[in-house]
Amino acid sequence: MSNGGDAADQYRSAVRTTSLALAVSFVDRVTGGAPTTVRGDRPTGWFEEGSFRSRRTADGYDVFLEIPPGEPTLSVDAGDRFFAPTDPVVVTEEVLSAPYPVLEVPLEPTPAYEFDAGTTLVRGVLRGPAPTPDSETPGTPIAEATVKLVGPEPATGDRTEVQTTTTSAEGEFVLYLPGDGGWTVDTEGDDPLVKVADEDPHILVESGGTTSVSPAVELRESKTTAVSLTLDGGSLSVDRVLVR
């Protein structure tokens, strides 16, 4: 969270009033802009203390005329398409002391997020082991696990982390390749392939206090790679890979 100059400039031009306490700017980490409203689903923020209310400006800011004293904590409902921040969203004195106080709240996408066509994605589901080795019943979905796209040798500790996300209550996750680096594209073959440190990437999972790493996964640029992962103890296997 920050009070960046660009956001303050946009806020100043968007709001005409003389008695504003705070403007909250939710930021879509995929696009870098304000989250769009989809079928009424949009992030909102409020303060638990008192009855402070905000109004939404045309440029997407949640504007508070009054806020609680001190350095209050903003509660966030990020909607279906974004994860709520994992750390408390504190309105610091640094933010409040700015001439135009703007609190930026970056939001990461959930599997329900609608990415643009041509975005390179890894969509998947993380489950525990099947009830028995020969069972056709899938294992239980693992929620709130951290999933990372890394490469190429995570076991050495010398790894590049490209993207991080969290599994949903259904064990689902989505990893998108950001535009700010950490990965390259190998165009020598028929299909452009994503590389991390010149190698195929791995999927790393942190759950229950353990860290597990998958075998290398082949990812195609501008495609969605769908994977089914099984976490059994400290072993992480890739059971199915589909490209679409």
152 to 149, 170, 240: CA distances (angstroms):
10, 28, 20
In order, the DSSP letters of 2-44 are ---HHHHHHHHHH---S---EEEEEEETTTSSPPPPBTTB--E
Q: pLDDT over 90 for what percent of the chain?
A: 63
Classify domain 5-107 at the CATH class level.
mainly beta
Domain 121-243 CATH superfamily: Carboxypeptidase-like, regulatory domain (2.60.40.1120)
Do the beta carbons of residue 167 and residue 126 sit within 8 Å?
yes
d(CA 154, CA 81): 30
Structure tokens at 94: 């640094």
State residue 241's pLDDT score: 83
Q: Bridge-partner residues for 222, per DSSP?
A: none
pLDDT in tens, 86-123: 999 999 999 999 988 999 999 999 999 999 999 999 99
Are 5-107 and 121-243 in the same CATH fold? yes
Do the beta carbons of residue 29 and residue 106 sit within 8 Å?
yes
Q: What angle do CA 166, 169, 171 make, to 5 degrees?
A: 65
State residue 8's pLDDT score: 57
d(CA 148, CA 164): 4
What confidence tier does 9 reach under pLDDT thresholds 50, 70, 90?
low
Domain ranges of the chain: 5-107, 121-243
| pTM recorded for the entire structure | 0.81
